[in-house]
Chains A and B, each alone.
Chain A
């Protein structure tokens, strides 16, 4: 069972909710927010293994290359340049698609893995902890997310922390998910971004429900929309300065008695829906 937590807008408390739910249930935790993976701050895992993550880049064998230009012509990412004397490869522009090697009739291209980031594998309490980390200055996050997801066993109970937003990284994360929890906040910004996230989970036909974090007197901004779209509200977490403080210190909300009860209820309400 795979439950993914996403948010559209950043900073709505996606990681707070996902880490606490994972911890309460002893579920495995996979951090796919590889640009800013912060789940480890709260779950404090022990890492046993680090796996290199990357894409395949072409290497040109100049003895075999005839400068026929097929690879340059077919590359859609401008990663190859034919200077008339040699084919130059710009690895940082390469998406690792293999089109160049498919194009080469002279067997002059081999592909070599280039590191974009790493995947840390470990445990917290008794469950698995996996997080992908994109190296700074690398633009391509999707291959690292793919490498994290390869380690998911669909037979186990897994929590997946998605990147924010609604672009290709989120689409990659959502693949093979059984249920999505969309975490939002009762502001106009929260609503605007929630609508985008709803569009994507609907497009991908994933059952989903909403959690309103930092719930306040303004909740109607979100609930009016949910009612009009007939979207399931799973639960709310009230705004609290104490929660903000716990978060800032890297502590779990469930360390606090009041929040423990709330998260226990929220957790039951989520699992009830997934099991359906």
Chain B
């Protein structure tokens, strides 16, 4: 199973990035290998629509779970149309959040946070 988290840096010890669409990096944790891989967030530089773009990234990476601070209304709408489950951050580092998820200590995201924009 693959878990996607917003990450402030592209290193294993990183803090989580609270933002979804505009997170600096994405960390993908594989529960089989217990290893992290990192990817740049190409969605964050667009002015408009970072949320849906980021959701597309998550879909294309084939993740099963998203852990983030908040999903905007558009990103949530996308995620609801997939089998991906989303949970709210609880903890500072990537590992704390992964551990909390594996121990059922994260709350699912059911409602959207405020929208962001630009363009």
Contacts and interface: CB of A to CB of B under 8 A. Distances in A.
Interface of B: 43, 46, 48-50, 52-53, 55-56, 59, 74, 77-78, 81-82, 117, 119
A88 interface: yes
10 contacts: A78-B50, A78-B53, A81-B52, A81-B53, A81-B56, A83-B78, A83-B81, A83-B82, A84-B59, A88-B52
A90 B82 contact: no
Q: Which of under 10, 10 to 19, 20 to 34, or 35 or more describes the interface residues of A?
A: 10 to 19
B49 A78 contact: yes
B49 A93 contact: yes
Contacts of A83: 59, 78, 81-82
Contact of B77 (A79, A88, A93): A88
Contacts of A84: 59, 82
Contacts of B50: 78
Interface string A69-100: 00010000111011111101010110000000
Interface in A51-67: none
User: Residue among A72, A83, A86, A88 with the most chain B CB within 10 A?
Assistant: A83
Nearest to B50: A78
A228 to B, nearest CB: 36
A11 interface: no
